[in-house]
Chains A and B, each alone.
Chain A
């Protein structure tokens, strides 16, 4: 069993009781809710005549179904309007703060939590969304829960959990030019598998992780769940603290920063902490990674050949064969030159300011290929405003990108932003499952934001490091 890790300390700190099942009743420092997975939980509460126990430790936003074009009410989609109205009613009745689209602070739940300073080191954070693992970037213990557990948290501010093992993933060395956090996590999932993390929490460490900005750390923790780990985290450090200082909560309550910092320092994993498993990856050897298949674990370096199914472990061969048939890719070739129809820059994985900045650098002075529909969906209204203040929107629009409102959008195709037919998309999102982006014949290639930008302008999967300099006339 692990000992002295951040996970052990935060778990201990939040333990309320041991339940008869052997599970731990864990206090939840922050409960984030959105429109898709919470309405049924409020319904269950009502059936049992229970109230929301800690509305002040609960925060709501709307992201999954919200349109990213015309957000005027009522929404064009009746079902979306109904879900929105239901959430508005629930938060009003319970007295829960709601970052709605009129607030100027609405956005994807995993973008706004950190932005507002709600997400803090040493907290337990839950949300009815598997990408809640994102918040682990701040040294929080954050994990996705189902709707019945949302009911539990609304009613008690606690959740019943079993303690997991801890695997330290040490990424050593310096990442090469053009290699980003997204590539690191895609490589981790490729190596350890989509279920390699089941039963584990991932601690990301090592020079390559420590050198990442907070947004990069969020991209990595975000996709822990794609590797099977319900939670992943990075120990908080000066990078974390500097970022926190700029958030809404600490700008409004600067005295809290100094009050809390000793606690944050105290929950860092000890130098001599014990782990259940340790994996080391040489970060300096990585290159941009793209997926060739239909699970996030089916990835390959951009200059490397797509594997032949028979060269994979036996249990992975059938899924690989089906995936290659669906995607129309050929083993032995690289993914370079794979034609795309859509470029999607968005999602809780990669739609924050540094993501947009890096993609804009690639796009600047270039044009989206004629055959490509390209869109930028900022992660939040604040990201959108900040990007516009820097003129990034003009760069994208001049190149032929659509510049959208904040939301989950084409990551999961619950609003109008969807793939059609067998369209292929170069996507900065997190899942390439069949049907994920709204069309069951659709094809998704996951990659980092600069790679999405490169694919948008060339019309095919492209090694962004090989793009020729733009010559300005």
Chain B
């Protein structure tokens, strides 16, 4: 495989605030939409049960509001993406249009899944996030610049410091976030490791 993996130094676009702590992956993509063998088409089911009532009528939710339809940057609170390991969750958000997520904190498997898709998950404290969410509500069309390399987020006239996990920053900015080919190139070392483990008997 020789496909170039893009270097992701930053993400840019208008925002959408999703408020609340402990938003789990069952909320991001309900299990019934996972009865599929590809990820195609998951975008329309992102946050489905928060967005539609039992008669599929739209409810109040940021992803339903016209001013957020072109959003690329999601602004969330604490422990976002907790629960199931389903990659369907970030896949659904990505296919809805999200390129980066700024939050107070992320569940580990969710953040790892985002990285595997080239989606930065950057963090800041509660006050910074709340202020940004409020700003996005007031400026739904304005762009937010997520600078992964320099660990800053710029919106309006303001630039704030954010944190990007070291490995994530390197992986994104150096274009090594898709690890298959990289790890495949160590196949000999892998075989040696396998042979050295006492429990490997095949």
Residues of A in contact with B (beta carbons under 8 Å apart): 13-17, 19-23, 25, 27, 29, 36-37, 39-40, 43, 48-50, 53-54, 56-57, 65, 77, 79-80, 82-83, 86, 120, 122-123, 128-130, 132, 143-149, 151-152, 155-158, 160, 162, 194-195, 198-199, 225-226, 228, 230, 256, 259-260, 263, 295, 315-316, 318-319, 322, 412-414, 431, 433-436, 438, 440
Contact = CB atoms under 8 A, between A and B. Distances in A.
Contacts of A256: 201
Interface stretch (B68-76, B139-147, B148-156, B185-193): B185-193
A53 B21 contact: no
B138 to A, nearest CB: 21
B66 interface: no
A145 B115 CA distance: 12
Contacts of A86: 37
Interface string B115-127: 0110000000010
Contact of A130 (B22, B27, B83): B83
Nearest to A263: B198
B184 A156 contact: yes
A36 to B, nearest CB: 6
Interface string B48-90: 0100000000000000000000000000001100111111101
6 contacts: A21-B170, A40-B38, A65-B35, A146-B113, A147-B88, A160-B179
Given A29-B200, A146-B86, 5 more contacts: A15-B193, A22-B166, A36-B34, A122-B198, A146-B113
Contacts of B194: 27, 54, 57, 157
A256 B201 CA distance: 9
Nearest to B173: A21
Contacts of B107: 195, 198, 228
Contact of A155 (B91, B105, B180): B180
A15 B183 CA distance: 12
B197 A29 contact: yes
Nearest to A128: B85
Contact of A48 (B117, B180, B197): B180
A394 to B, nearest CB: 33
A19 B38 contact: no
A83 B32 CA distance: 13
A259 B201 CA distance: 11
Contact of A435 (B30, B90, B113, B197): B30
Contact of A413 (B1, B32, B87, B183): B32
B26 interface: yes
Contacts of A25: 183, 186, 190
A21 B167 CA distance: 5
B79 to A, nearest CB: 4
A144 B86 CA distance: 9
Interface of B: 1, 3, 20-22, 24, 26-27, 30-32, 34-39, 49, 78-79, 82-88, 90-91, 105-109, 112-113, 116-117, 126, 165-167, 170-171, 174, 176-180, 182-184, 186-187, 189-190, 193-194, 197-202
Given A21-B174, A57-B200, A194-B79, A48 B1 contact: yes
Nearest to B19: A318
Contacts of B109: 130, 143-146, 225, 230
B189 A17 contact: yes
The 10 closest A-B pairs by CB, nearest first: A148-B116, A146-B113, A146-B87, A79-B35, A144-B85, A147-B87, A39-B37, A195-B79, A130-B85, A440-B49
A433 B170 CA distance: 34
A316 B21 CA distance: 8
A22 B116 contact: no
A120 B83 CA distance: 25
B91 to A, nearest CB: 8
Contact of B24 (A263, A315, A413, A433): A433
A288 B194 CA distance: 44
Contact of B20 (A20, A65, A319): A319
A434 B27 contact: yes
Given A156-B187, A199-B108, A433-B24, A21 B171 contact: yes
A435 B26 CA distance: 7
Contact of B79 (A65, A144, A228): A228
Contacts of A148: 87, 113, 116-117, 178
A27 B193 contact: yes
Contacts of B193: 14-16, 27
A411 to B, nearest CB: 10
A294 B112 CA distance: 24
A20 B198 contact: no
A43 B187 CA distance: 21
Given A20-B170, A198-B108, A43 B37 contact: yes
